[in-house]
Amino acid sequence: MKRITFLYLFLISGVLIAQNNAVGFKEKLVYTASYNMSGVLTDLAEVTMQTNTVKTSRATLLRLKCTAFTYSKWDSFFKIRDLYETYVSPNTLKPYLHNREINEGGYFKNMKYTFSHKTKTVKAIQTKKNNWVENETIAIGADTKDIISTLYTLRTFDLSNLKSGISKTFTVLFDRKEAKVRVTYLGKETIETALGNKVCYKITMGAANSNAINGTLWLTADANKIPVYGKFKIPVGNGELKIKSASGLKN
């Protein structure tokens, strides 16, 4: 059975080319992650999503960084130190480089993707424990993205005029394979958050050909469309994410 990482569960509870009018260049979103343990939702970890610009010799890129850390009292039980980061075009959020470092309960894996949009390929380098390395070049579709840039790109779309029940399928490259992810818009809903009561766009995301993994995400119904609440469900349990703070927003 393919390992499902903690941070991936959050990202699915989150492509067409769209202009970035929503994601700021110094944005920081902090969440509390909870997991159902023996029927009780327990706060286990902190998830942080933040952005910053990075200058290269050729261009200025936007770095999308997402981390997950268990609270110290849980480290002895199941220590999590996850990192997902993608370097994208600031305007279109098209990915150029993606890095994923998984460190969960003694399990380690690093995956790096280098996107070549001209040739529609990705150079993937996977590293596991004992420095075992595997290189592979993967053919991808024109709209294929990694999970991080897909989630951020979703925020750039105009959701204000969608009808409830509208669905679209996106292609995400995960563990060196293209996967179809179906996104369904469920309408607006007002929820209570640490940022106050927020009118939100409610969407579901999950594997298009399976009910094994699915999540629901609430995005603020404003120009920023930040995720403020998320729920996920998998065969071995379910959990939630609640926003704690937000700063550096674009609008």
Q: Which of 128-132, 217-221, 226-230 has the lowest mean pLDDT?
A: 128-132
Instruction: Supply the pTM of this predicted model.
Output: 0.89
Collapsing DSSP states into helix, strand and coil, what is residue 222? Answer: coil
pLDDT attached to residue 14: 44
pLDDT attached to residue 116: 97
Contact of 35 with 60, CB cutoff 8 Å: no
Contact of 199 with 220, CB cutoff 8 Å: yes
Q: Could you tell me which residue, 158 or 236, shows the higher pLDDT?
A: 158
Contact of 218 with 201, CB cutoff 8 Å: yes
Question: Quick one: DSSP state of residue 129?
Answer: G
pLDDT attached to residue 19: 82
Domains of the chain are 6-247 (2.40.360)
pLDDT attached to residue 103: 93
For residue 251, give Cα distances in angstroms to 22, 24, 208, 225: 7, 8, 33, 10
Whether 92 shows a pLDDT value over 90: the answer reads: yes
Q: What is the pLDDT of residues 8-30, one digit of tens each?
A: 555 555 433 468 999 999 999 99
Whether 1 shows a pLDDT value over 50: the answer reads: no
Q: Which of 146-150, 219-223, 231-235, 246-250 has the lowest mean pLDDT?
A: 231-235
Q: What is the pLDDT of residues 171-223, one digit of tens each?
A: 999 999 999 999 999 999 999 999 999 999 999 998 877 665 689 999 999 99
Q: In the structure encoding, which two tokens stand for residue 240, read together?
A: 């939630």
pLDDT attached to residue 152: 95
Q: In the structure encoding, which two tokens stand for residue 115, read together?
A: 């996107």
Average pLDDT over residues 126-141: 89
pLDDT attached to residue 132: 81
> What is the average pLDDT value for the chain, to the nearest integer?
90
Q: What is the pLDDT of residues 52-69, one digit of tens each?
A: 999 988 899 999 999 999
**Beta strand 60-70 with 227-234: parallel, antiparallel or unpaired?**
unpaired
